[in-house]
Amino acid sequence: MTEQPFEQGGATRPADILIDIASQFLLAVVVGLVMAVVANSFVEGARWFLNTSRIDSFVAIQLGGHVFNLDIYFTLGIAAGLIFLVRRMLGITVWSGPADSIYAVQQSREPLDVRVGMGSTIAAFVAASGGGSVGQYGPLVHFGATMTEVLLKYIRIKIDRRVFIACGVAGAISAGFNAPIAGVLFAHEALLRRISIGAIAPIAVASIVAYAANQAFFVIEPTFSVPDMPIELQPLIPYLIMTAILSTGSAIAYMAAIRKGRDLAGRSGWSMPKLICSCVLVVGTVGVVLPDVTGLGLVQVNQMIGAEFTLGMLVMLLFAKIFVTAYCLNAGFFGGVFGPALFVGASTGGIAAYLAVAAGLEPHLSFALPVAAIAAVGGAVIGAPLTVIMIVIELTGSYAYGLSAMLCVILCSVLTLRFFGLSYFDRQLLDRGVDLRQGQEHIELALTPVNEIQGGSFVRLSPEVSVPNAQRALADAQATEAYVCDEQDRLLGKIDIHSLSHATTLTQAMDASPTTLAADDNLNTAMTTASTFVGESIPVVDNGRLVDALSEGDIFNKVLQIQAGLRQQ
């Protein structure tokens, strides 16, 4: 399907414009409805399976007066078997998640793999239902993006692919958190990374429809339960700064642990079945001792906000959650990183609240610190500070909590950016060689191979050609350079009209090691080469064979075409 810039819509007549707007509106409505159903099915389904296994205990032992529930071994084992089956049936070797959604929006050449995206969503649901320490929101975000790729294959509507993917993501956030404004913000802040009136319209429709469907068809329980807190920001400021610093340490430790776990899993040399079995045993053992660190953890997050854990328990839960999440995500299980980040933030904020009260803060104000830390760690992990601030406001319905969270979130995000990166997703892409800091143009140029550039005519000579005949060929072509090739078109060297004037043979005049470009080099490489090149054209070779010759003008005209397309979007 030919993509049209959303702001232009490809239509010029009023009737065409109205049809385009109506079509896009209808498509956004469909996306919002689908995401409401999928998000609620995912969240409530995983919660039901997890709660059922914990309420109806099948195997337990009693040691030292304590009862230990061993069911976690069975639920994790069943989940591991199902995940392995999903991988085998769909032929998945690497799961895909929000980082892939972000990458899909930042370039136009590599669409999302629908098979892997759907399989990853199923695996995340299984992992969360079985008690794995994984998140639910990341898989929902990626499902929203993947679903739009499917719709674009079958529906002929003039809408920018990037904007449509953002519609699916906004619907996922809106339905998952019951926060429509946060859904719109996340789509622009984390995915599009730009603001335009044309893009806001369909994204907002998808987000609002998902929220309305939640209210109409589902029983929605608040994600966070917070006590009322008066707006007294001034006494909180020093403790919010302290909380931001603690949250920065927790966020960096959490993201670094996941990255280090991936490295250790790769270096272990273990097969996937061996890794996932070890995960069942290790995480299951931790879960027997500390059952609060397994599963989605939303109940525990609310308990931490309400100061229902002791200081020592909060410290244990913090480190245990980071450990089991890193183990799950790198040993065969799959899921999001945002849900566990909320748990890490809540435990960090709970610790900060204990320290603040001990230092003299009024206890009724300390409830703001866990909420602020939740937002700070979550915002640092996903790289969307404005989104998490809005989530706090929408979920708590409190301006006081949102205001207190803002200072903590912004400071934590700045510190995390300096010491780790913009987000865990950006760091994932950077580990793959994709640097989003360079901008969308750099990514597009990196994905455009040199062989897509149409070069001009050039002179090709055999090494047996005499010098006078070579000079005549250059004069006839009105060129100053020629390329010497053998019978298989392998490039032997390059000559120019000046070197010929001082030579008696072609070999004597030839530069045997000219500057070249490979056919699969990208435009960034071509621009770097052209910036220091002196001459008429640069030869393009494919496995040693001369296939084209590009002038600096050929290269930079292609760059200008890509820049114009991006500006139009």
Q: Do 395 and 222 form a contact (C-beta atoms < 8 A)? A: yes
Domain closes at, from 436, 455, 475: 436
Residue 478 lies in a domain: yes
Q: Is pLDDT larger for residue 429 or for residue 160?
A: 429
DSSP string, 155-211: ------HHHHHHHHHHHHHHHHHT-HHHHHHHIIIIII-S--HHHHHHHHHHHHHHH
The interaxial angle of helices 440-447 and 523-531, nearest 10 deg, is 90
360 and 507 share a domain?
no
Candidates 147, 136, 97, 144; CA nearest to 120 is 97
Specify the pLDDT at position 10.
47
Residue 482 lies in a domain: yes
What's the pTM value of the predicted model, to 2 decimals?
Answer: 0.85
DSSP state of 337: S
Q: Which helix (H) or strand (E) holds 248?
A: helix 233-268
272 and 413 share a domain?
yes
Which residues, including other chains, have CB under 8 Å from residue 420's CB and lie 6 or more apart? 251, 252, 255, 256, 380, 427
Residue 225 lies in a domain: no
Residue 564 lies in a domain: yes
Domain closes at, from 186, 217, 248: 217
Q: Which amino acid is at 438?
A: Q
187 and 315 share a domain?
no
Specify the pLDDT at position 215.
87
387 and 419 share a domain?
yes
377 and 452 share a domain?
no
159 and 175 share a domain?
yes
- Structural domain including 192 reads 14-217
281 and 411 share a domain?
yes
Q: What is the pLDDT confidence band of residue 57, given thresholds at 50, 70 and 90? A: low
pLDDT (mean) for 174-188: 91
Candidates 55, 62, 134, 49; CA nearest to 95 is 134
pLDDT (mean) for 168-182: 91
d(C-alpha 140, C-alpha 54), whole Å: 24
Residue 1 lies in a domain: no
We report the CATH number of the domain holding residue 346 as 1.10.3080.10
| Model pLDDT for residues 89-126, shown as the tens digit of each residue | 999 988 999 999 999 998 888 889 999 999 999 999 99
Residue 228 lies in a domain: no
216-230, 310-324, 355-369, 378-392, range with the lowest pLDDT: 216-230
Specify the pLDDT at position 8.
42
409 and 542 share a domain?
no
pLDDT (mean) for 534-539: 90
Tokens for 365, please give them. Answer: 């104000």
Q: What is the pLDDT confidence band of residue 1, given thresholds at 50, 70 and 90? A: very low
542 and 459 share a domain?
yes
The share of the chain scoring above pLDDT 90, in percent, equals 55
Q: How many CB atoms lie within 10 A of CB 454?
A: 10
| Model pLDDT for residues 480-516, shown as the tens digit of each residue | 999 999 989 999 999 999 888 888 888 888 999 999 9
Q: Which helix (H) or strand (E) holds 496?
A: strand 491-496
| Model pLDDT for residues 379-411, shown as the tens digit of each residue | 999 999 999 999 999 888 888 888 889 999 999
pLDDT (mean) for 525-535: 89
418 and 449 share a domain?
no
Domain closes at, from 217, 243, 261: 217
Residue 547 lies in a domain: yes
Specify the pLDDT at position 55.
56
DSSP state of 309: S
Mean pLDDT of the chain: 88
pLDDT (mean) for 439-449: 88
d(C-alpha 278, C-alpha 284), whole Å: 9
| Model pLDDT for residues 308-349, shown as the tens digit of each residue | 999 999 999 999 999 999 999 999 899 999 999 999 999 999
Q: How many CB atoms lie within 10 A of CB 129?
A: 23
Specify the pLDDT at position 2.
39
Per-residue CA distances from 133 to 333, 342, 453, 476 (Å) = 9, 12, 48, 72
Which residues, including other chains, have CB under 8 Å from residue 215's CB and lie 6 or more apart? none
76 and 138 share a domain?
yes
d(C-alpha 320, C-alpha 327), whole Å: 11
Q: Do 236 and 191 form a contact (C-beta atoms < 8 A)? A: no
Tokens for 241, please give them. Answer: 């700064």
Strand order in the sheet with 459-461: 459-461, 481-485, 491-496
Tell me how many domains the chain contains.
3
396 and 456 share a domain?
no
d(C-alpha 356, C-alpha 363), whole Å: 9
We report the CATH number of the domain holding residue 476 as 3.10.580.10
* Residue 159 pLDDT greater than 70, yes or no: yes
d(C-alpha 116, C-alpha 104), whole Å: 14
Q: What is the pLDDT confidence band of residue 67, given thresholds at 50, 70 and 90? A: low
* Residue 69 pLDDT greater than 90, yes or no: no
| Model pLDDT for residues 235-253, shown as the tens digit of each residue | 899 999 999 999 999 999 9
Per-residue CA distances from 147 to 31, 137, 143, 153, 529 (Å) = 8, 15, 6, 10, 40
Specify the pLDDT at position 387.
93
Residue 470 lies in a domain: yes
Q: Are β-strands 459-461 and 481-485 bridged in parallel, bridged antiparallel, or unpaired? A: parallel
